[in-house]
Chains A and B, each alone.
Chain A
């Protein structure tokens, strides 16, 4: 896994990441995360740590960075899809909970989603899952990553039209997440 990521680019992205942190007081990195609790596989008893990730601007921003570096974006674009399905819509083949998404990333899925186990740490998978969720879920502007994708090809995600409202109240949304 050679990484000819340009140093300048790296610096830029990191800077943006720092910005993110500065903007949102809650955006502090979380301590290293262990594997999902087995109870998390049970939708009725979500892993309590999940919420710390998807409600944390820093983690979401880290996830976005990884989404580019690990070539997720090559298959899913910036959420709209291409070789892999769209992640910005509200259709999920394998579930939208943090646990489901971490499973998808770790083990892959039969129709061509590669397994990233061994290439990412647990915490990185959680960060990615938090970012993936932010592409389709109703997340507060303060948490959504404000960095323009691909250095301004598209509108910054904060300026883009919010996704069509889903027929759920924030309360339900929260419940369905885990």
Chain B
């Protein structure tokens, strides 16, 4: 009896707290809805600018998925603007014939559009001069079908790059191929991955300074990640930089000057791991690369360490889950910053990095901005690797901040997963505050348009067993909507003032890229197939169009041979979260799809499979 009283008191207390919380949430909810209706424009002078020298962009064309080396995804075309975008109509469509996740950005060179499909990575060249936009040529690289089984999260392809008369593409089984853009004839083909070890390639290669840069996927299969630079002309590998192992393999030499002491020291890629765990340590490179031609440096992030079970790999697990700056010619590392030392949650650092020049505490700095999977918006000096600010932009319980003195992320001890005990309410979930799908930046508004997630998870470590070519995880996880119950969000972020200008909540997780245009319109798509145009200054919805399937692609804009501005986007649900529908999986298993399908058990109500290009224009 004596023990029962305190229990009762506790119950009442808990009840009161819950009631207060509910009331608070309701009040907050209505407040936010009111703000939604008003949508006042964000009237602040734009202070951030695209990095000088990295924003060059062939007029009215689209050569690389990000549009430019600074990765702004900004189109300087302004024919379509906030006044007339409401009249946008489909100009033409094209069915690819495949039904997996269509994550790629179309490219436009001269009067030809180039498309690449998910596995089997078929390339189409469409003739934009003819009313029917017929196929000029197509190319099937015939990748090994076994590669489908080791692609962690659908058999996607994030795009190609164009330079100097050639297209550069990758296949899921890890071949890099150069094609003659005019004829579709293969110029060279270089295999860079070994599927028996679980290596695949899904990223878009970047071509710059005579090199084709390609990484790998397989952070979920104990792959030892590496970035390769191939000679643009011959396809020969010029340099290869591993993400784990001894300094000589990581291309760490005398020019390596990381900003923080925890990244300084010899062979940390070995010493920060137990035994030989670095050999299966992950750190794959499957996201985006930015390039600063003036500094001659490339920037890219490495994936989560392997296995996901962090108890199996005590230490910082370098150089995983961090950002590398390297000399593009030699591959030599210049600096490194680890966003998630000893990552606990699959918080890769592979997201896009937008190169900007902007004032920080009154001084102009050359920075890179990364909306991190950790949920922090990192502003990093791209010359030195110093973190200038890191502010949360997504729901967060896992971390309490980033210590700017040491650069280290601060963990909330209550949310550190363990073996044998489920840790609940971890935000952001494994795909992070934001996954791979890239943001856009407008130098006109100075805002970064970030399509992201609001997902949390329960996590338990189960111990991992390395078998080459199979998953190396040791985790069970189950994801669900974050606070507020919505699962996606479009945030316009002011990097200088370090706060959101406006936000749009989306019911489903956002898995599409964004595009910003000089007409002050921002485009993005949703998993239920809506392609949306919003006002870049206020976030007001200006136009939307329902496509045949969920959108996980990257919108682009170009000027057609007829002089009109077009907007192009793939529709075709898939990728990690959308794989539930494209792969026909079973959401009754809460751990399916590494736990993400549990967050979207309703997805099939909103979308079926698809694979279609949509191109929009104003009526003549």
Contact = CB atoms under 8 A, between A and B. Distances in A.
A82 B582 CA distance: 11
B460 interface: yes
B477 interface: yes
A153 B460 contact: yes
A114 to B, nearest CB: 6
Given A1-B467, A81-B585, A88-B586, A68 B593 contact: no
Interface string A56-88: 000000000000111101110111111111101
Contacts of B463: 4-6, 9
A4 B592 contact: no
A85 B592 CA distance: 10
A6 B585 CA distance: 30
B470 interface: yes
B312 A80 contact: no
B588 A12 contact: no
A47 interface: no
A88 B593 CA distance: 13
A153 B586 contact: no
Contact of A83 (B149, B478, B591, B595): B149
A91 interface: yes
B154 to A, nearest CB: 9
Contacts of B489: none
Interface string B462-502: 11111101111100111000000000000000000000000
28 contacts: A2-B465, A4-B312, A9-B420, A70-B467, A73-B471, A74-B470, A80-B590, A81-B583, A81-B589, A81-B592, A82-B152, A82-B579, A82-B585, A85-B585, A86-B584, A86-B586, A86-B592, A88-B589, A112-B147, A112-B148, A112-B151, A113-B149, A114-B149, A150-B591, A151-B421, A152-B422, A153-B590, A163-B588
Interface of B: 145-153, 220, 312, 419-422, 458, 460, 462-467, 469-473, 476-478, 579, 583-595, 597
A85 B154 CA distance: 11
Contacts of B592: 77-82, 86
Given A80-B593, A81-B593, A153-B591, A114 B476 contact: no
Given A5-B465, A6-B463, A152-B460, A160 B588 contact: yes
A112 B585 contact: no
Chain B facing A: main interface SS: loop
A160 B473 CA distance: 25
Nearest to A88: B586
A173 interface: no
A111 B594 CA distance: 20
Contacts of B146: 110-112
A149 interface: yes
B289 to A, nearest CB: 25
Nearest to A157: B589
B465 A6 contact: no
Contact of A77 (B147, B469, B472, B593): B593
Interface in A95-119: 110-114, 119
A83 B312 contact: no
Nearest to B464: A4
A154 B476 CA distance: 9
Instruction: Indicate the member of B458, B460, B590 with the most A CB atoms within 10 Å.
Output: B590
A19 interface: no
Contacts of A91: 584
B586 A80 contact: yes
Contacts of B153: 83
A39 B312 CA distance: 45
Given A151-B460, A153-B478, A161-B588, 17 more contacts: A8-B420, A77-B594, A79-B592, A80-B587, A80-B589, A80-B591, A81-B589, A82-B593, A83-B150, A85-B584, A85-B585, A111-B149, A112-B146, A112-B147, A114-B469, A151-B462, A153-B477
Nearest to A84: B149
Contacts of B591: 73, 77-78, 80, 149-150, 153-154
B460 to A, nearest CB: 6
A3 B592 CA distance: 24
A174 interface: no
A6 B311 CA distance: 10
A149 B458 CA distance: 14
Contacts of A68: 462
A89 interface: yes
Residue among A68, A81, A83 with most chain B CB within 10 A: A83
A89 B584 CA distance: 10
Nearest to B589: A80
Nearest to A74: B471
A114 B471 CA distance: 11
Contacts of A4: 312, 463-466
A73 B470 CA distance: 10
A89 B586 contact: yes
Contact of B149 (A3, A73, A75, A86): A75
B145 A110 contact: yes
Nearest to A9: B463
B378 to A, nearest CB: 30
Interface in A1-44: 1-6, 8-9, 12
Contacts of A78: 589, 591-592
A85 B477 CA distance: 18
A159 B579 CA distance: 27
B460 A154 contact: no
Contacts of B590: 80, 153-155
List of 5 A-B pairs having minimum Cβ-Cβ separation, nearest first: A112-B149, A74-B471, A80-B589, A80-B592, A150-B476
Contacts of A161: 588
Nearest to A5: B463
A83 B471 contact: yes
A151 B423 CA distance: 12
Nearest to B152: A83
B503 to A, nearest CB: 31
Contacts of B422: 151-153
Given A86-B585, A154-B478, A6 B419 contact: yes
A70 B464 CA distance: 10
A149 B462 CA distance: 10
A80 B477 CA distance: 13
Interface string A132-160: 00000000000000000111111100001
Contacts of A119: 467
Contacts of A154: 476, 478, 589-591
B296 to A, nearest CB: 38
A77 B589 contact: yes
A150 B469 CA distance: 22
Contacts of A2: 465-466
A9 B579 CA distance: 31
A114 B146 CA distance: 8
Contacts of A82: 152, 579, 585, 592-594
